[in-house]
């Protein structure tokens, strides 16, 4: 806790934000963060209000809920309706619209849907309700994969035959590769995710600096971390020598967490995966290996799912690629609000649209709010 206390010391914070505010950025600089926790940290701390006018920070594909396709939710809801399974999920998935309603509606119709804080919570439910099939909606990036792997392993050790996972786990580096190959995307540097990198280390990002010549800083999640990460990125851009730096030194080692990586590798293998906004990205998802396929809910409860177009007018796909800012979407703050979300970027508390809507005075054009400081 000592480090955290230091990082939260208002004096230090204000020094860093003063440095940000007075940063001289001669030509426009665009940075992208690729982690929902960063999206939230930046907006919750009100950092955009202290950025110099030439500095822009976009949100990339860092919110797992936001890049999960509609079909995934449709599949989960069909399993509940056709097989009567209990769905267990992190709270963020509850209001993501499928093509026919969302999980809160499903619960309102009387189907069992439970919010858990960890996959182990889902396992507890399976143990308590042995007569009930329990499916955990495994949505996340490299950070959550080791816990899900551990949970599946426990399920096997405890011979829980009523537990399975519907896996939509995704990997960040392949998505960044696709993003960087798009000539329309104009990003000078990346605020790389601290939590994901605790597992991955810094090595998997080297191609960003070496092949694509973009600045990279692996950054922590305290407002002071983010402010420092941005200052380091601007400095790196000035030096003209792109590389992968680690700001989040208290959590990340260059080689990552070998044990967690081995654990994930034991249970999962990379597979092609569909990302909302990107489409199919080769080897960008995780599926259970053959030896653990008995825990794959998609195999245990086969359902027919029609492919669905994205909701009309929804630009979530463009938002997660950093091509448009949330207010540029015609639905933003009109048809699409946190209470009545159309796309996943407005649902997830970590989504770029939700963060922008909740925290940015400019988002309330109808109310005419402005920030003149």
Binding interface with another protein (CB under 8 A): 8, 10, 13-14, 16-18, 43-50, 94-95, 97, 100-101, 104-105, 107-109, 117, 223-224, 227, 311-314, 331, 335-342, 349, 357-361, 363-364, 367-369, 371, 373
**Shortest Å, Cβ 230 to another protein:** 12
Instruction: Return the number of the residue (118 or 207) whose C-beta is nearest another protein.
Output: 118
**Shortest Å, Cβ 179 to another protein:** 26
Closest CA to 242 of 192, 301, 297, 302: 192
Instruction: Return the number of the residue (93 or 178) whose C-beta is nearest another protein.
Output: 93
Instruction: Return the number of the residue (2 or 367) whose C-beta is nearest another protein.
Output: 367
Place of tokens 């208290």: 250
Instruction: Return the number of the residue (173 or 343) whose C-beta is nearest another protein.
Output: 343
**Shortest Å, Cβ 166 to another protein:** 21
Instruction: Return the number of the residue (16 or 123) whose C-beta is nearest another protein.
Output: 16
Spatial distance between the Cα atoms of 368 and 365, rounded to a whole number of angstroms: 5
**Shortest Å, Cβ 321 to another protein:** 21
**Shortest Å, Cβ 372 to another protein:** 10
Instruction: Return the number of the residue (184 or 306) whose C-beta is nearest another protein.
Output: 306
**Shortest Å, Cβ 100 to another protein:** 5
Closest CA to 64 of 137, 164, 163: 137
Instruction: Return the number of the residue (49 or 147) whose C-beta is nearest another protein.
Output: 49
Instruction: Return the number of the residue (270 or 361) whose C-beta is nearest another protein.
Output: 361
Q: Are 23 and 234 in contact (CB under 8 A)?
A: yes
Instruction: Return the number of the residue (13 or 305) whose C-beta is nearest another protein.
Output: 13
Instruction: Return the number of the residue (102 or 133) whose C-beta is nearest another protein.
Output: 102
Q: Are 88 and 114 in contact (CB under 8 A)?
A: yes
**Shortest Å, Cβ 114 to another protein:** 12
**Shortest Å, Cβ 269 to another protein:** 30
**Shortest Å, Cβ 97 to another protein:** 7
Beta-bridged to residue 95, according to DSSP, are none
Q: Output the 3-class SS for the chain.
A: CHHHHHHCCHHHHHHHHHHHHCCCCCCCEEEEECCHHHHHHHHHCCHHHHCCCCEEEEECCCCCCCCCCHHHHHHHHHHHHHHCCEEEECHHHCCCCECCECHHHHHHCCCCEEECCCHHHHHHHHHHCCCCCEEEEECCCCCCHHHHHHHHHHHHHCCCCCEEEEECCECHHHHHHHHHHCCCCCCCEEEEEHHHHHHHCCHHHHHHHHCCCCEEEEECCCHHHHHHHHHHHHHHHHHCCCCEEECCCCCCCCCCCHHHHHHHHHHEEEEEEEECCCEEEEEEEEEECHHHHHHEHHHHCCCCCCCCCCCCCCCHHHHHCCCCCHHHCCCECCCECCCCCCCHHHHCCCCHHHHHHHHCHHHCCCCCCCCCC
Token pair in block for residue 326:
């949330």
**Shortest Å, Cβ 224 to another protein:** 8
């Amino acid at each position: 806790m000592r480090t955290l206390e230091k990082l939260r010391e208002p004096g230090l914070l204000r020094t860093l934000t003063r440095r940000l505010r007075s940063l001289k950025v001669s030509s426009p600089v665009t940075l992208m963060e690729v982690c929902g926790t960063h999206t939230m940290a930046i907006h919750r701390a009100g950092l955009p209000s202290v950025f110099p006018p030439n500095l822009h920070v976009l949100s990339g594909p860092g919110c797992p809920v936001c890049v999960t396709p509609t079909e995934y939710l449709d599949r989960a809801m069909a399993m509940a309706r056709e097989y009567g399974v209990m769905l267990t999920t992190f709270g963020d998935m509850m209001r993501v619209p499928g093509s026919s309603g969302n999980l809160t509606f499903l619960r309102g119709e009387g189907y069992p849907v439970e919010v858990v804080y960890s996959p182990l919570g889902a396992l507890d439910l399976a143990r308590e309700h042995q007569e009930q099939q329990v499916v955990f909606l495994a949505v996340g990036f490299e950070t959550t994969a080791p816990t899900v792997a551990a949970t599946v392993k426990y399920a096997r050790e405890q011979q829980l035959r009523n537990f399975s996972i519907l896996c939509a786990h995704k990997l960040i580096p392949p998505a960044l590769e696709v993003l960087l190959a798009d000539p329309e995307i104009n990003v000078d540097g990346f605020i790389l995710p601290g939590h994901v990198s605790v597992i991955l280390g810094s090595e998997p990002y080297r191609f960003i600096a070496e092949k694509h010549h973009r600045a990279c800083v692996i950054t922590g999640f305290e407002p002071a971390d983010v402010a420092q990460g941005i200052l380091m990125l601007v400095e790196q851009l000035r030096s003209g020598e792109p590389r992968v730096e680690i700001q989040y030194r208290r959590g990340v080692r260059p080689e990552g967490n070998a044990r967690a990586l081995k654990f994930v590798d034991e249970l999962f293998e990379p597979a092609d995966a569909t990302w909302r906004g990107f489409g199919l990205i080769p080897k960008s998802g995780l599926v259970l290996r053959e030896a653990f396929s008995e825990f794959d809910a998609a195999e245990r409860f086969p359902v027919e799912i029609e492919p669905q177009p994205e909701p009309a007018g929804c630009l979530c796909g463009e938002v997660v690629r950093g091509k448009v800012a949330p207010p540029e979407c015609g639905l933003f703050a009109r048809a699409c609000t946190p209470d009545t979300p159309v796309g996943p970027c407005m649902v997830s508390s970590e989504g770029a649209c939700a963060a922008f809507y909740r925290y940015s005075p400019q988002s309330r054009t109808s109310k005419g709010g402005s920030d003149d400081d």
